[in-house]
């Protein structure tokens, strides 16, 4: 993971350089390109991971799994259409936990299970609110587009203090109990500073894209490839991509169809986030099962 951290840091500063040298419109286009490629591909092999998890289970059908997966995605899209406020809240909750779990699962092996889950959620929400803090107007605008409600205050300073205080407290206790090395704590603090610099200088979509791709999707891809194939060799990465491409193409087609159907009554952002949320719900659950399976392996 050391090489991944170095790659993420260097690439993040490249993203910061792009922010200061290109128009916001170019940031927006590049951000969506990254999200619709690396971002979507990292969640395109959920069924392959489920098959790996259930390989020793005698009675299960791959077709049934596919139908169940598509049903969850369809229900999520329907909820976003009928109850957008509830769907958006659930999307935030699921995303926060998923981000925190991906980032910290391989570091916290001895932490109490309940406390660990709260920490994962708090860290993921800290990242999201750090992004919101520097893009207050854009966040309020998107929330209004999705839900139809105007939000006067996001209370980001207060929430950041609470989340930051809790995350800092857990890390401090883990360090004092020798469950985390000081290098890890300092590295994470540096990461948050770098992300804050990027979020403060970029647009909402570009800032999200940098975090989502460099700090979440690529590390997740490596975790998934290792889980499925047992290594991260080039041949394994190519196998993963080959398996993911059909589902990725189907996802892109689904997004286009969704936009074609609802573009007359909804703007792009609500449709974009509803689709991302729809695939996030089952993906977050699959990743939770994957991490649990890894812990159970000898």
Count, residues in the chain: 298
Is the confidence at residue 298, as pLDDT, over 60? no
* Span 195-221, average pLDDT: 92
Domain of residue 140, residue span: 2-296
Is the confidence at residue 272, as pLDDT, over 60? yes
Is the confidence at residue 178, as pLDDT, over 80? yes
DSSP 8-class letter at 215: I
* Span 220-229, average pLDDT: 90
Structure confidence at residue 109 (pLDDT): 65
For 177-200, letters b (16+ CB in 10 Å) and e give eeebeeeeeeebeebeebbeebbe
Give the span between the Cα atoms of 240 and 243, in whole angstroms.
5
Confidence of residue 60 (pLDDT cuts 50, 70, 90): low
Please tell me the total count of domains within the chain.
1
Q: Which residues contact 122 (CB under 8 A, 6 or more apart)?
A: 96, 100, 163, 166, 167, 170
Is the confidence at residue 174, as pLDDT, over 60? yes
Higher pLDDT pick, 65 / 33: 33
Confidence of residue 189 (pLDDT cuts 50, 70, 90): very high
Nearest to 19 by CA among 269, 218, 208: 208
Burial-class residue 210 by CB neighbours within 10 Å (0-12, 13-18, 19+).
buried
Structure confidence at residue 133 (pLDDT): 93
Q: Which residues contact 114 (CB under 8 A, 6 or more apart)?
A: none
Q: What is the mean pLDDT of the chain?
A: 85
Which alpha helices (DSSP H) does 22-134 contain, by range? Answer: 24-34, 40-41, 46-53, 62-82, 84-104, 113-133
Give the span between the Cα atoms of 246 and 171, in whole angstroms.
41
Nearest to 120 by CA among 109, 140, 104, 107: 104
* Span 95-113, average pLDDT: 84
* Span 280-294, average pLDDT: 84
Predicted structure pTM score: 0.89
Structure confidence at residue 263 (pLDDT): 65
Give the span between the Cα atoms of 28 and 31, in whole angstroms.
5
Is the confidence at residue 64, as pLDDT, over 60? yes
Give the span between the Cα atoms of 94 and 101, in whole angstroms.
11
Is the confidence at residue 207, as pLDDT, over 70? yes
């Amino acid at each position: 993971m050391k090489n991944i951290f170095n790659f993420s840091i260097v690439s993040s500063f490249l993203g910061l350089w792009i922010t200061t040298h290109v128009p916001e419109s170019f940031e927006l286009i590049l951000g969506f390109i990254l999200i619709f490629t690396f971002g979507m591909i990292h969640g395109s092999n959920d069924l392959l991971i489920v098959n790996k998890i259930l390989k020793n289970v005698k009675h299960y059908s791959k077709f049934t799994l596919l139908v169940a997966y598509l049903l969850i995605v369809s229900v999520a899209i329907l909820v976003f259409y009928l109850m957008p406020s509830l769907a958006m809240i659930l999307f935030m909750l699921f995303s926060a936990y998923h981000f925190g779990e991906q980032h910290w699962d391989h570091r916290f092996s001895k932490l109490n299970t309940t406390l660990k889950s709260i920490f994962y959620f708090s860290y993921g929400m800290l990242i999201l609110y750090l992004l919101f803090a520097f893009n207050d107007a854009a966040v309020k605008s998107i929330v209004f587009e999705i839900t139809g409600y105007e939000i006067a205050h996001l209370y980001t300073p207060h929430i950041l203090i609470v989340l930051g205080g809790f995350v800092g407290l857990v890390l401090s206790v883990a360090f004092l109990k020798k469950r985390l090395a000081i290098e890890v704590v300092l590295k994470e603090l540096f990461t948050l500073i770098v992300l804050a610099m990027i979020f403060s200088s970029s647009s909402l979509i570009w800032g999200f894209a940098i975090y989502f791709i460099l700090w979440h999707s690529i590390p997740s891809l490596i975790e998934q490839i290792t889980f499925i194939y047992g290594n991260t060799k080039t041949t394994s990465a190519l196998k993963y991509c080959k398996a993911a491409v059909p589902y990725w193409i189907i996802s892109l087609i689904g997004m286009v169809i969704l936009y074609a159907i609802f573009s007359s009554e909804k703007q792009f952002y609500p449709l974009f986030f509803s689709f991302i949320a729809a695939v996030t719900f089952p993906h977050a659950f699959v990743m939770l099962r994957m991490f649990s399976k890894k812990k159970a392996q000898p």
